[in-house]
Amino acid sequence: MLSLKDTFLFHNGVEIPYFGLGVYKVEDGQEVEATIAEALRLGYRLIDTAALYQNEEGVGRAVRNSGIPREDIFITTKVWNSEQGYENTLKAFETSLQKLGLGYIDLYLIHWPVKGKYNETWKALEELYASGKVRAIGVSNFTIDHLKDLMAQSSIKPMANQVELHPVLVQKELREFCAEHGILVQAWSPLARGRILADPLLTSLAGKHGKTPAQIVLRWHLQNRVAVIPKSVTPARLQENTAIFDFELSAEEMNLIDGLDANTRFGPDPDNVDF
């Protein structure tokens, strides 16, 4: 991992940056547009949004106004739970595509594994992929059991699985399963919403490397081959999050961080999706 330009090659040949910007809870309009403009200036090339976030229009405007060629920016969005099912998903995709106004979407994800619906939703994603309207398709918050069920009933396996993942929820078995099947693991909430950054181990490693605890955690992710989409609207923090390519954690340090695992979630449990 040498730079923000480092990419993962999906099993269909499409490249996705390992490092990007998440825009969950970033207000549509001026806030999201200014945040993305600054991120793109700093070298970010992956922007992750979702129908739920209600800022797809601002994301699209920011990308169009950036002066950067569309093909150089990777855009992810997601179908929300209430819009799942085959026909509903096709309609939801068209709505997101129209709001973004970017011609196509790079990665389209099922946001959560809604029981009884996600397999039909996936059929819609396969059709959208075949049509060329989306360059890659994947899932979010899927467990190993969800993935096994989906792959048993589909012709295309997911290219990505975006999940909650951080040092107190390392998801080792899920990561190993995805690696075995060529599925990229991408971490949302890679910094555990800031709740772990005062941990003595992380602060000690930060002091040793002359970095912040957040930079230590983001570096840990990348060395584990986990893609990250940290969220921030603060220019200084956007820049700080990218300053993780000039140092390396040792194998021992990586193992120590792995040892913080407590199987602790701060977000919902994917096995109990009732929203």
Q: Which two tokens stand for residue 167?
A: 């040092």
What sign has the CA pseudo-torsion 32, 37, 43, 47?
positive
Q: What is the number of structural domains in the chain?
A: 1
Q: Which two tokens stand for residue 91?
A: 């309609």
Q: Helix 144-152 vs helix 118-131: angle between axes, to the nearest 10 degrees?
A: 60
- Tell me, what CATH number does 143's domain have? 3.20.20.100
State how far the alpha carbon of 120 is from the alpha carbons of 1, 106, 126, 163, in Å: 37, 21, 10, 21
In a domain, 257, yes or no: no
Instruction: Give Cα 1 to chain centroid, integer Å.
Output: 17
What H or E segment, with its residue span, contains residue 75? strand 74-79
pLDDT, one tens digit for every residue, the chain (275 residues): 789 989 999 999 999 999 999 999 999 999 999 999 999 999 999 999 999 999 999 999 999 999 999 999 999 999 999 999 999 999 999 999 999 999 999 999 999 999 999 999 999 999 999 999 999 999 999 999 999 999 999 999 999 999 999 999 999 999 999 999 999 999 999 999 999 999 999 999 999 999 999 999 999 999 999 999 999 999 999 999 999 999 999 999 999 999 999 999 999 999 999 88
Determine the pLDDT at residue 2: 81
In a domain, 2, yes or no: no
In a domain, 202, yes or no: no
Determine the pLDDT at residue 45: 98
Determine the pLDDT at residue 274: 87
In a domain, 137, yes or no: yes
Q: Could you tell me the residue range of the domain that residue 181 belongs to?
A: 7-194+226-232
In a domain, 190, yes or no: yes
Q: Is position 44 annotated as part of the catalytic site? A: no
Determine the pLDDT at residue 139: 98
Determine the pLDDT at residue 182: 97
Determine the pLDDT at residue 223: 97
Contacts of residues 234-239 at CB distance under 8 Å and 24 or more positions apart, as own/partner, are: 235/38, 238/21, 238/35, 238/38, 238/39, 238/42, 238/44, 239/42
Determine the pLDDT at residue 59: 98
| Residue 193 DSSP SS3 | helix
Question: Pick from 51, 54, 59, 19: which is nearest to 35 by CA?
Answer: 59
| Residue 79 DSSP SS3 | strand
| Residue 25 DSSP SS3 | coil
Out of 18, 53, 108, 118, pick the active-site residue: 53
What H or E segment, with its residue span, contains residue 258? helix 251-258
Q: Which two tokens stand for residue 21?
A: 């910007």
In a domain, 252, yes or no: no
Phi/psi zone of residue 225: left (φ > 0), alpha (ψ -120 to 50 degrees), beta?
left
- pLDDT 10s digits, 86-129: 999 999 999 999 999 999 999 999 999 999 999 999 999 999 99
In a domain, 67, yes or no: yes
- pLDDT 10s digits, 70-81: 999 999 999 999
pTM of the model: 0.97
In a domain, 270, yes or no: no
Determine the pLDDT at residue 260: 98
What secondary structure does DSSP assign to 123-185, as a single string? HHHHHHHHHTSEEEEEEES--HHHHHHHHHT-SS--SEEEEE-BTTB--HHHHHHHHHTTPEE
Distance CA(107)–CA(135), nearest Å, equals 6
